[in-house]
Chain A
Amino acid sequence: MTATAPPAGRTAAGSPDLRRSALSARRRITNGSAMLAITLALVLAVIPLALVTWEVISRGLHVMSWGFLTEDIPNSYRRHGPGMGPAIVGTLIITGMAALLAIPLGVFGAIYLNEYGKQKPLARAIRTMADVMTGVPSIVMGLFIYTGFVVVVGAKTGFAGALALACLMLPIVIRSSEEMLRLVPDELRQASLALGARQWRTVLTVVLPAALSGITSGALLAVARAAGETAPIIATVGITFAVNGDLFNGQNTALPAQIFRNASQPFAGAQERAWGAALTLVVIVLGFTILARVIVGRFAIKER
């Protein structure tokens, strides 16, 4: 991908000196303004990122305290002060359970695609549909778990939320793991098979360990995505103001849902809590993202 060979382009652009002066003014200006516009596009993407980061950090730090992270959520939007404890606990356990459900299934799905299915019609169909599934809106996934699980069981629980998040994570894990398995050199597989190991043993003891760090980082990115999902939480998890550590009993809550609820309120107290929750959520998501990058970095070094 990165083999777009800049040296070739550079020599072509810079070799004959007479060319630039030979260019008509119109062509020079068109080229210059087009290049400016292209560079400006990147600047336009940086601006919102910088602004949103600044707002979240400055307004979030304003309310951040130990009490904010641990205390219960006030049951009135008008009240000022902490905290977000139940939502933080909810986010961690719901996302954790979702990861436990989705990552193993996703990795095995990827093993099927890369080691067994390859280019068979069924494998290609699964690949395409996994791509399509990454595009299914998160609210639809929430409605699916609501109709298929909450209505059947009869109660909104943290586990329902975990199921919805797992459904959102699954295709991401499958596709990123498959990508990593594909990078494992075929020589490793052949060496293992030549020693008489069966394919399942080759996959589990040779291929999977070789791709492990890549798979882990892809899974962490999926976890980061899931931790920030709001709509499925609202449809399936319900609401609580006190910490509920039990995924299977009672309603729960999570940071994104709290941000949404509090941001829709006209009261300053609620909005302050929304900013604090946003800062907490961004830190959690960023933590997973950075961890994934670190693991990838180490993997790349090992590769060489």
Chain B
Amino acid sequence: MKTETSQTQTPGSALTRRSGGARIERLFRLWTLATGLLVLAILALILFSTTREAWPVLRDMGFRFVTDATWDPNPSSGGAVFGALSFIYGTAVSSAIALLIGVPIAIGIGLFLTELAPRWLRGPAVTTVDLLASVPSVVFGLWGVLVVAPALVPVYRWFNHVFGGIPGLGSLFGSPVGTGRNFMTAGIILAIMVTPIITSISREVLSTVPQANRDAAFALGATRWEMIRGAVFPHSFAGLVGATMLGLGRAMGETIAVALVIGGATSITPNIFAGGNSMAAIIVQQFGESTGTFTAALIGLGVVLFAMTVVVNLAARVVVRRAEARMQGAAT
């Protein structure tokens, strides 16, 4: 196909002539540019279109939208009050639990794959993590609400029984809700879901550690763990932080699984065995039944969630990119 030009014209004239093809070239370039710009356009449109729809509520509530803990679309007297603080709290608590459980596991798998695994095990291990990532979140939610939550209730009771009396710790492990749908269950399910993304980024980061650094640590007589602590971690720390932040972004935005297992209560309590709700979850739970300003308030929650995840993701990407650039510099 590409020889067409040289058949019809002499090579020299094809090189010098700037007709016909140049226009197609310019159009093609513009078209690809337009599709690239689509990304920026969609992000801008998300912000514009959701903010416009949520504006009545955001304007009326002002900052109280994120600082007030009362969420009452149909109060017995007075106008509706939309304060999202308890949902922001729920998002924060469930994400924190998810990261506390998920990050050590994910970094552990990353270390296993880069430092420990025999060659034959690497493929299957990576496939396992990939499969974990490919399970739809609603399936984890279904499993969480019908299998995990009921199964965990006795465990929660035991924790409450053992630690409930201790001051401080006791308020953390308060009496559990009977259904097992609470912050902790949400955190556990979220941990399963953030593990693959943190694993894949930390694996990338860990594999950029120069072999020379490892060899140097070994040569000094370090055990494998001392090598990891002394040579691998300092070198990849920033990248691992970035991976954790990406996991945080994922955990904050996860909707369906959390909506099924978090319990659906509007409360701010240190008790991680109590039911609550998260921003993403309440939107999907109440969106079907809402009208008017109630819908606008839910969309307002979406705006807040969008802003938070964009900030977290942007920061995470910058951290990862900086770390990788620095590491590549060190590797050469």
Contact = CB atoms under 8 A, between A and B. Distances in A.
Interface of A: 1-2, 4-6, 8-9, 12-13, 19, 23, 27-28, 30-31, 34-35, 37-42, 44-46, 48-49, 51-52, 55-56, 105-106, 108-109, 111-113, 115-117, 123, 125-126, 128-133, 135-141, 143-144, 146-148, 151, 167, 170-171, 174, 192, 195-203, 205-206, 221, 224-225, 227-231, 234-235, 256, 259-260, 263-264, 271, 274-275, 278, 281-282, 285-286, 289
Contacts, number: 301
B94 interface: no
Interface string B216-250: 00110101111010000000000000000010011
B88 interface: no
B35 interface: yes
A234 B284 contact: yes
- Decide if the interface of chain A is mainly helix, strand, loop or mixed: helix
Contacts of A105: 35, 38
B287 to A, nearest CB: 6
B135 A49 contact: yes
A217 B107 CA distance: 27
A109 B32 contact: yes
B119 A140 contact: no
Contact of A27 (B42, B219, B226, B256): B226
Interface residues of B, number: 106
Contacts of A56: 139, 143
Given A4-B211, A224-B134, A263-B145, A139 B305 contact: yes
B207 interface: yes
B138 A8 contact: no
B32 A28 contact: no
Contacts of B119: 6
A28 B211 CA distance: 23
Contact of A42 (B50, B128, B223): B128
A40 B109 CA distance: 9
A264 B298 CA distance: 20
Contact of A192 (B2, B109, B288): B2
Given A48-B192, A132-B314, A285-B136, A148 B32 contact: no
A45 B40 contact: no
Contacts of B21: 198, 201
A109 B1 contact: no
